[in-house]
Structure 1
Amino acid sequence: MTVKLSDSDEEGGSAGEINVVPLIDVLFSILTFFVLASIFLTTQQGLPLDLPKVAPSDQQQVLSQQLTLTITDKGKYLLDKEPIELAKVGPTVKAELDKDPNRMVVVAGSKEAEYQYVVFVLDELRKVNATRIAMATDTE
């Protein structure tokens, strides 16, 4: 597509023409950039809800109801800060879950812990049908 600047060639020169195809390509590139930027820069907003308030004593009770299974970087296991062998993790967790089936098991692995240690623990928890499992993370 070209645009003529003048209709006459009376002076002997060629009519000036501007090729607008490259300009359209640049325009579409800029438009694409802004569309993608607007998609990725928008934050996901949830529905505005009035969430229930929890008293501090209730929150402490919820934290005490969970079992914390810690995996060190050396592959050692601790259940609520007490050392435990991998073979005893399943039966011990099952005994605790038999007392209160709503207890949550929180697996807290060291950043340096090998992945296989986490898999071993999750396998033991699967064997005793522990369904409420959470993975502990740290926020920066």
Structure 2
Amino acid sequence: MPLKTQQDDAPVLNLTPMIDILFLLIIFFMVGSKFTEMERSVDLDVPQVSDVGALTSAPEMKVINVFNDGRVMLGTREIELADLKTELAASLAEYQDLGVLVRGDSEVPFQQVATVLTTVRQAGIAEMAISVRLTNQRR
């Protein structure tokens, strides 16, 4: 097996492209800061408005829990199905893309969950989801 008797040249790091990019960034920010200074020096009387606060973000999905004993909770409070429909319709009027997450107890008959889903649909909400828990068992 032949042995290597001469050394290879050490790798060289070419810094020229990195320096070019650095100079381009410096020029970009210098020119950008000049434009903001010129914009502020324009004599313009802009209209005034009162501070009404920030725009509200989209609400999170409403969570409906269906319990084994037939109780239905919207968020943290118990609610009847007729009131659920009314309240969801009112919330939908405020935000058109409102979504609902239905969580049913594992022991609850599916008919109760189906009734809640029907009530949600009658309120006009199209985005619905059902919450489940994944098991770690493989077959």
**TM-score normalised over the length of structure 2:** 0.53
Question: Could you give the per-residue CA deviations for residues 15-46 of structure 1, whole angstroms, max 9, x where no partner exists?
Answer: xxxxxxxxxxxxxxxxxxxxxxxxxxxxxxxx
Task: Summarize deviations over 1:82-122 as a string: whole Å, max 9, x none.
Answer: 10011111111111111111121000000011111111111
Question: What letter matches 1:137 in structure 2?
Answer: V
For 2:116 and 2:86, locate their aligned partners in 1 and report how far apart those are by CA, in whole Å.
12
Q: Name 1:84's counterpart in structure 2.
A: 79
Indicate conservation of the 8 Å contact 2:85/2:122, yes or no.
Answer: yes
1:107 corresponds to 2:99: no
CA RMSD of aligned residues (A): 1.6
Query: What secondary structure is seen at the aligned counterpart in 2 of 1:105?
Result: strand
Task: Indicate the residue corresponding to 1:41 in structure 2.
Answer: none
Paired with 1:135 and 1:115, the residues of 2 have a C-alpha distance of 12
**SS state at 1:108 partner:** strand
- Percent identity (aligned): 23
| Secondary structure, aligned partner of 1:130 | coil
Deviation beyond 4 Å, 4+ runs, structure 1:
none
Contact 2:98 2:125 in 1 (8 A): no
Q: Is the 8 A contact 1:75 1:114 kept in 2?
A: no
TM-score calculated relative to the size of structure 1? 0.52
Counterpart-to-counterpart distance in 1, 2:78 and 2:62: 13
Aligned equivalents of 2:70 and 2:104: distance in 1?
A: 9
Name stretches of at least 5 consecutive residues in structure 2 with no aligned partner.
Answer: 1-56
Pick the aligned partner of 1:132 from 122, 127, 134: 127
Alignment of 1:18-33 (within 5 A): none
What are the equivalent positions in structure 2 for 1:34-113 lying under 5 Å apart? 65-113=60-108
Report how many aligned residue pairs link the two structures.
79
